[in-house]
A and B are shown apart, each in its own frame.
Chain A
């Protein structure tokens, strides 16, 4: 059973006291989000190959673009004027992009199914669980999944010598932050969707983000106007964050990137929780 053993122990105790009076032990003091994780664990323990597949996407990109294109490009000049091997330049961006893709996929397609077709959340809300438990649990699940992919990818990067600074270890929490920002907003967007056609819009947003967030080349190649536009892309902030850590090019800008992603995740979570209430508790 997933979930923390302490909480389970407490529940045992409570339910055995209450069981004597046969009154169900209510989950009134939080912990609901953990139940949501348990539910997803039950589902995925049977279809775990689906989870593994997510690991390969960034690896494929790394080999094709990082190594293949990298061999043609050689080195690139980054903002502080340093020369960096192209593979080491593009790898952190691929990590950020895959954190985004994973979070968006999990929080849109999967959530939409559970919300509109499976009626999973309707059933859950007949219990002491709250919409907040659902929102937090689902976002946390998506983060957990992202964490596995990110760890694997970072290990591959390390093995290939693409992490040039000890700060690189912070790339892991950074992917979590990116995942949080996109999962929260993805889920919020999903609550507004009515049909599967609406998901074309998701691709319409995610693909340009992937291509134009200073992912494959430095921001400086753009004219000013496009540089400003690029800075509006949430993925740009994620890419800059991870790239700074793995290349060891820290600057005060990092706080700006972090603030952007935290704000995005906070707003997304808030909207999600409110929207679920409106949709499910009407």
Chain B
């Protein structure tokens, strides 16, 4: 791993460098701005809008992604996350508003931007007609890298993706997790300044998810800027320094995961399950115990800063739930509060 670590650090420091300017020293500290007037945002969106014919996919959103940050788009299906990602990836024209990626306009400098991005799409689009190694090779060639450089990087990346023993295997028989790791490795072949991950762990089993999180966490440690979309709350909490919650093309909230939980939920949640059909009746007797009470078809949620204390109060009222769960508030609570509980599609 050391070589990748080193490479990625350099990439990070090189992020502000204009590739056309030669002879710049390679040991610039990330904090040293070469071009003072340039902001440190790798991505800057103002009023970013995307229409597909009449359908509004993204409805005028503002956000900034800073260098070295892991930034998340969290939202239900159809919230506009992938459309936003494709616009950042310079493969989908912006309908209205402004978008700057790495200080450039995707409409003008698409290929220049893409040269410095790593993209991991929602659907694996590995080249099925090529082997694992060949996928890395040809992808590097698309970036104009020489075979020597690619071979060197491919060896490291296969190790990083734990696919060394599958180097010459065709892509098709690989497991979902392996394909995903290969797609990530492929996205790193050009040592990108910015890695875009669209629902990186959707459809993977828990082991594969945790392995992937570990790999992404390592990249983050190395200073690679990550933009991740997900609808998994635990993933967002694990990986993102900062995130926006999207709903119906808009940004519903923005902040660090813990901040959002503090702002939109309570510290803890007490879940009470009563016999079927009696949730509402029982909830009515719990007035005043929690900051907020929510009645679901199968249970009652009490939002409180001290779940154990609330539990004691519940017992004092004389109610004995069938089961009780006392837990920390999660991003899921925030998410459901902001985007609602009804099914999206």
Contact = CB atoms under 8 A, between A and B. Distances in A.
B17 A21 contact: yes
A127 B144 CA distance: 10
Contacts of B110: 130
A126 B146 contact: no
Interface stretch (A26-34, A182-190, A191-199, A242-250): A26-34
B149 interface: yes
Interface in A11-44: 11-12, 14-28, 31-32, 35, 38-39, 42-43
Interface stretch (A114-122, A150-158, A229-237, A256-264): A114-122
Contacts, number: 132
Contacts of B143: 24-27, 127-128
Given A12-B146, A42-B137, A22 B14 contact: yes
B343 to A, nearest CB: 27
Interface stretch (B118-126, B201-209, B227-235): B118-126
A22 B144 contact: no
Contact of A127 (B10, B26, B114): B114
Contacts of A129: 111, 142
A24 B192 contact: yes
Nearest to A126: B119
Contacts of B22: 17
Contacts of B130: 39, 42-43
B86 to A, nearest CB: 8
A123 B143 CA distance: 12
A18 B19 CA distance: 8
Give the interface SS of chain B, mostly helix, strand, loop or mixed.
loop
A147 B141 CA distance: 25
Contacts of A119: 123, 125
A1 B11 contact: no
B144 A31 contact: yes
Nearest to A127: B142
B139 interface: yes
Nearest to A36: B142
Nearest to A125: B91
Chain A CB count within 10 A is highest, among B89, B111, B112, B126, for: B111
A38 B91 contact: no
A128 B111 contact: yes
B54 interface: no
Given A20-B26, A26-B112, A126 B121 contact: yes
Nearest to B9: A22
Contacts of A126: 89, 91, 114, 117, 119, 121, 187
Contacts of A18: 19
Contacts of B125: 118-120, 122-123
Interface size class, chain A:
35 or more
A120 B52 CA distance: 23
A23 B14 contact: yes
B149 A15 contact: yes
Contact of B129 (A20, A27, A118, A130): A118
B256 interface: no
A15 B324 CA distance: 61
A124 interface: yes
B11 A15 contact: no
Nearest to A120: B127
B188 to A, nearest CB: 11
Contacts of B128: 118
A280 B110 CA distance: 14
A129 to B, nearest CB: 5
A251 interface: no
A211 interface: no
Interface of B: 7, 10-11, 14, 17, 19, 22, 24, 26, 52, 89, 91-93, 110-112, 114-117, 119, 121, 123, 125-130, 134, 137-139, 141-149, 187, 190-192
27 contacts: A15-B146, A17-B22, A22-B14, A23-B19, A24-B143, A25-B143, A25-B144, A26-B116, A27-B111, A27-B115, A27-B143, A27-B144, A28-B115, A35-B138, A38-B138, A38-B141, A43-B127, A119-B123, A124-B142, A126-B117, A126-B119, A127-B115, A127-B139, A127-B190, A128-B111, A130-B111, A281-B91
In the A-B complex, the 4 residue pairs with the smallest Cβ-Cβ separation, listed nearest first, are A26-B115, A27-B144, A119-B125, A24-B190
